[in-house]
Chains A and B, each alone.
Chain A
Amino acid sequence: MLITTAQFAIGAVDLAAAFLFLFGLQRMSSPVTAPSGIKVAGVGMAVAVLASFLYVFSVEDAAKPFLVTNISLAVIALVVGGGIAWFAGKRVAMTAMPQMVAIYNGLGGGAAGAIAAVELFGGKYSGLTQLGVTLLGALIGAVSMSGSIIAWAKLDGVLNRPMRFKGQRELNALVLLVTIAVGGTIVFATSMRDFLDISTSGLIYGFLALSLVLGILLTLPIGGADMPVVISIYNAFTGLAVGLEGFVLQNPALMIAGMVVGAAGMLLTLLMAQAMNRSIANVLFSNFGEVSAQKQGAIKGELKPTAAGDAGIAMRYASKVIIIPGYGLAVAQGQQKLYEFVKLLQAGGVNVKFAIHPVAGRMPGQMDVLLAEAGVPYDMIFQLEDINADFATTDVALVIGANDVVNPAARTDRSSPIFGMPILDADKAKQVYVVKRGEGKGYAGIVNSLFYGDNCNMVYGDAQAVLIKMIEAVRGLGLPAAA
């Protein structure tokens, strides 16, 4: 009776949790409802975790003597793991968000892999199909874990250059094949266990170790600029691994949540690859960033530096300004000063908008978050397809810490590595100011012909310092604010 009641309670709560996840994610589709969306999903998670302790009423006989220890271990793990991650998440800087998401994702992949390991070592799967699914989940989860850790290291700057060597792809393919072969051997040995006495324990260790190595090898050669796509793929991978382990554990909440995230992650990855006009295979295997040291077409014109104050004053007298922020702005911690400058312009009656490229920042949408953190209302922020037509009627385009996403070569130069990538048409504005630390190239290592245009002036310096000068210059005008 107690077992049936517990079973019913777990089933009902997990059903509710699955609904709350879907409902919460659905509410995240608009900035207005999104904050409540995550809270809805959070409630689902909390009740599902609490209800999972009802499993104590239906544990296997072999585990009954360990029940008290196991419950204590579970509580300790929840408090320690959850507590550390919670405080880290509350303290992390918004600029470091991509690394943090990579870590959390790696944790999820590792958890899925570990669950698979318990099932494999304990022989708890029923039948060969379940064994196969367990192994697949272990492989994907482990790849996601070790790959996410490498992605974290790259985003955090611990590993700052792609590691590439000859025959790398062949080695990766070989490791994958060997891993699959070991998995196949485990299935075979298990199917024969009535006739042969083979211990699969060593094989399982080998399989898990190979999967972890595979995740490292796959991620090492990919450049730092492509890490957002990689995190997104691993996010989908972890979802998939969780879904597969959910099948093994016969838990529909895990199956649904995992598969929803798997599909969502795949879609997000595709959208990102589209924004860069590249295929996912190209991101993963093309060694992007090496080819771009090629010959550059001769660019006419010259760089024309101007003073920050002059640029600021010109914007104050403009009627329409579009600002294109990039990751350089975040590196200089200039978002607050930028919004202060924008408010000054707005007080003078200037129409100011922000234009965000889909891959601005180190993960898609990160620039939006960084601006939101500085207090910029989201109805001032426009995405590429919504604002590109406006540049032709814009007086000043202010490019600040962005480079490749405004390079007209993407439209015109077939030999350019970024040819075909949708860009923000800043060059079509009457006047362009580019705030940049120096004459260096962007992440893709390509010369930007926008900077050499007749309508473009360069403002050299740290973004924050430049903005302070602009604010001072506009204040110095002593103009009254518009009514």
Chain B
Amino acid sequence: MDFSIAMTGFVAIYIFMLAGFAGWVIIGHVPAILHTPLMSGSNFVHGIVVVGGIFALLNASTLQQQAIGFFAVLLGAGNAAGGYAVTDRMLAMFQVSDHRKPKVAHARAHHAKKT
């Protein structure tokens, strides 16, 4: 069985169209209160570019390609790791009032004890 993927012409355009539509619809539902974590979260998602960087670096066959490939992985890894770190930190801060969600209030009390 052949598991290689070939995306040419219309297949690629279909993928782009559907993905673009999915992004538009998903983000359209996000409330304004989450816009900053969302922007940094989507910023994290394009950190997947690091995978492309690894591919390019592994296939590098000249010093020039190695240098640029190394640069690509370095930057891509920074994008992914940094984007995750800040988004996770921000989202952990969002809490509801104590009386509505006792479970969250408990978690916060626990956190307060630690600090």
Contacts and interface: CB of A to CB of B under 8 A. Distances in A.
Given A77-B57, A101-B39, A118-B68, A263 B31 contact: no
A261 B56 contact: no
Chain A interface secondary structure, helix, strand, loop or mixed?
helix
A249 B52 contact: yes
Interface string B63-89: 011101111111111111111111111
Contacts of B31: 29-31, 383
- For chain B, the bracket of interface size reads 35 or more
Contacts of A254: 48-49, 51-52
A71 B54 CA distance: 9
Given A35-B92, A108-B79, A73 B19 contact: no
Contact of A81 (B57, B73, B98): B73
A368 B86 CA distance: 15
A62 B51 CA distance: 20
Interface in B6-33: 6-7, 12, 15-16, 19-24, 26-33
Interface in A94-117: 94, 97, 100-101, 103-105, 107-108, 110-112, 114-115, 117
Contact of A108 (B15, B29, B38, B47): B47
Of the candidates A118, A271, A369, the one having the most CB atoms from chain B within 10 angstroms of its own CB is A118
Nearest to B17: A259
A238 interface: yes
A344 interface: no
28 contacts: A11-B5, A22-B26, A24-B45, A28-B41, A28-B91, A38-B84, A45-B44, A52-B54, A63-B59, A78-B50, A82-B80, A85-B82, A104-B86, A111-B72, A111-B76, A115-B49, A122-B65, A246-B52, A247-B7, A260-B20, A260-B26, A263-B19, A264-B23, A364-B35, A368-B36, A369-B36, A375-B108, A377-B97
Nearest to A64: B61
A271 B49 CA distance: 26
B57 A263 contact: no
B84 A42 contact: yes
Given A45-B47, A268-B38, A361-B36, 5 more contacts: A21-B45, A60-B61, A104-B83, A252-B5, A252-B15
A105 B79 contact: yes
Contacts of B48: 17, 21, 45, 48, 242, 253-254, 257-258
Contacts of A380: 97
B103 to A, nearest CB: 11
Interface in A267-299: 267-268, 271
Interface in B77-115: 77-98, 100, 108
Contacts of B53: 77, 111, 114-115
Please list the 5 inter-chain residue pairs (A to B) with the smallest Cβ-Cβ separation, ordered nearest first.
A89-B85, A365-B35, A85-B82, A263-B23, A260-B23
Given A56-B58, A114-B68, A263-B21, A78 B95 contact: no
Contact of A252 (B7, B39, B71, B96): B7
A235 B47 CA distance: 11
A443 B37 CA distance: 24
Interface in A224-260: 231-232, 235, 238-239, 242-243, 245-247, 249-260
B45 A377 contact: no
Query: Helix, strand, loop or mixed for chain B's interface?
Result: helix
A51 to B, nearest CB: 8
A259 B16 contact: yes
A45 B84 contact: yes
Given A4-B3, A80-B74, A256-B19, A235 B39 contact: yes
Nearest to A120: B68
A354 B19 CA distance: 36
Given A101-B40, A265-B42, A373 B79 contact: no
B85 A235 contact: no
A255 B12 contact: yes
A443 B74 CA distance: 37
B51 to A, nearest CB: 4
Contact of A104 (B32, B43, B62): B43
Nearest to A201: B64
Contacts of B57: 70, 73-74, 77, 118
